[in-house]
């Protein structure tokens, strides 16, 4: 709502285009000359240069005076928001048509027109006849000649690109240092949705960049959270949703990207949910003879921790008693000399081993391989 009002504040400066029912004769400059795509104005009549376009007829309603994007947002508002939107637009229109603002606009336009008329003779006409970037690779019909010789008094285009990148980084650094901390004043505490808000919408943004996927809106809702639904009606809603229903989480997922703006897609999804609920509450047909079909969903078994493995207080006491019992038995064996010590046993076995100088293997048997000839390996 606030973003749409801000956009309306910018578009209100378009004078007779956003609000065409304003007076068209509020600015009168005798020496004003419109810009034209023709050269030297050969196809434009002198009277047409200094005349302003006629005012448009007043629109039938407020929505006709808005642009396509603003109108889409305006139609997505509720009745109360639309009334507030119209009141704000009316205040902006009165402000832009006030005598003080009209006087400043007229003075600014007159000054700009005068500067253009004064500077125009000093600009060489050959500058406008070269064709510019769009004429690269074409023959020079005007005969302007080659570019001036480079006199080593400037840096290369690659260096200019590096400087431009450096300026852009410094600009974002200033934004991060001075303006982004001010966003904390606009922070709002998180308020969880109530029972009256069962719908969850998800949007996609690309941080200011235009992308075809940013108009997509995804809607999710839980069938058990929908108000005034019996169990039979809830099962009918699940059957109407079809493959968009997840039986494990009890969540239905719908999406839309048919329209150009997110507001239109969101409104379409809201109307679609209203239609589904209306059909689910219809008592003439309950779909009870149709079984639930969840073949579209793949159930995956999740391993569960065994109950008898859980470390309960009783289990802790039992393990502690077993440890204490084992310690008592070891102490009794140690007192009787029956406790076995592995280190002592290994030491005794090494000491009792007889010393033998003969090798364990005196020789290896000769191996013969069956086949042509006699082959063997001597050890």
Lowest-confidence pick of 165-169, 179-183, 210-214, 333-337: 333-337
Of the pLDDT bands very low, low, confident and very high (cuts 50, 70, 90), residue 284 is: very high
Label each residue of 257-309 as H, E or C.
CCCCCHHHHHHHHHHHHHHHHHHHCCCCCCCCCCCCCCCCCCCCCCCCCCHHH
Q: Which residues pair with 377 in a beta bridge?
A: 367
Among 299, 298, 296, 276, residue whose Cα is nearest residue 287: 276
Among 117, 123, 119, residue whose Cα is nearest residue 29: 117
Q: Which residues pair with 379 in a beta bridge?
A: none
On whether the CB atoms of residues 294 and 239 are closer than 8 A, the answer is no
Task: List the chain domain ranges.
Answer: 2-121, 200-280
Of the pLDDT bands very low, low, confident and very high (cuts 50, 70, 90), residue 110 is: confident
Residue 3, pLDDT score: 46
Residue 340, pLDDT score: 84
Rounded to the nearest integer, the mean pLDDT of the chain is: 77
Label each residue of 94-118 as H, E or C.
HHHCCHHHHHHHHHHHHHHHHHHHH
How far is the C-alpha of 100 from the C-alpha of 109, rounded, in Å?
14
Of the pLDDT bands very low, low, confident and very high (cuts 50, 70, 90), residue 15 is: very low
Residue 334, sorted as left (phi over 0), alpha (psi -120 to 50) or beta, turns out to be alpha
pLDDT in tens, 34-54: 444 444 444 444 444 444 444
Q: Which residue has the higher pLDDT, 77 or 46?
A: 77
* Residues 200-280, CATH architecture: 2-Layer Sandwich (3.30)
pTM: 0.40
Lowest-confidence pick of 15-24, 78-87, 290-299, 369-378: 15-24
Residue 218, φ and ψ in degrees, nearest 5: -115, 135
């Amino acid at each position: 709502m606030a973003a749409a009002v801000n956009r309306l504040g910018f578009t209100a400066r378009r004078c007779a285009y956003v609000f065409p029912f304003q007076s068209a004769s509020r600015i009168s400059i005798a020496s004003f000359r419109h810009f034209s795509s023709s050269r030297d104005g050969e196809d434009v009549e002198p009277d047409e240069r200094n005349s302003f376009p006629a005012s448009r007829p007043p629109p039938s309603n407020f929505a006709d005076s808005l642009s396509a994007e603003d109108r889409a947002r305006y139609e997505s508002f509720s009745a109360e928001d639309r009334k507030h939107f119209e009141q704000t637009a009316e205040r902006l229109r009165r402000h832009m048509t006030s005598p003080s603002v009209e006087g400043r606009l007229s003075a600014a336009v007159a000054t700009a027109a005068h500067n253009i008329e004064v500077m125009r003779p000093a600009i060489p006409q050959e500058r406008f006849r070269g064709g510019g970037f769009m004429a690269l690779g074409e023959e020079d019909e005007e005969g302007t000649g080659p570019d001036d010789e480079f006199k080593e008094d400037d840096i290369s285009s690659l260096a200019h690109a590096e400087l431009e990148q450096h300026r852009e980084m410094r600009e974002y650094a200033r934004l991060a240092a001075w303006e982004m901390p001010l966003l904390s004043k606009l922070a709002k505490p998180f308020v969880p949705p109530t029972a009256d808000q069962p719908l969850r919408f998800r949007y996609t943004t690309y941080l200011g960049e235009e992308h075809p996927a940013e108009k997509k809106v995804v809607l999710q809702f839980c069938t058990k959270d929908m108000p005034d639904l019996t169990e039979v009606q809830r099962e009918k809603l699940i059957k109407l949703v079809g493959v968009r229903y997840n039986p494990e989480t009890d969540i239905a997922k719908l999406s839309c990207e048919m329209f150009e703006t997110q507001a239109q897609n969101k409104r379409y999804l809201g109307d679609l949910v209203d239609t589904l609920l209306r059909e689910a509450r219809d008592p003439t047909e309950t779909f009870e003879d149709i079984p639930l079909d969840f073949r579209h969903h793949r159930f995956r078994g999740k391993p569960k921790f065994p109950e008898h493995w859980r470390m309960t207080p009783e289990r802790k006491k039992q393990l502690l008693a077993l440890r204490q019992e084992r310690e008592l038995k070891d102490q009794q064996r140690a007192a009787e000399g029956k406790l076995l010590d592995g280190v002592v046993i290994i030491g005794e076995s090494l000491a009792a081993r007889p010393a033998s100088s003969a090798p364990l293997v005196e020789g290896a048997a000769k191996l013969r391989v069956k086949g042509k000839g006699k082959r063997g390996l001597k050890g």
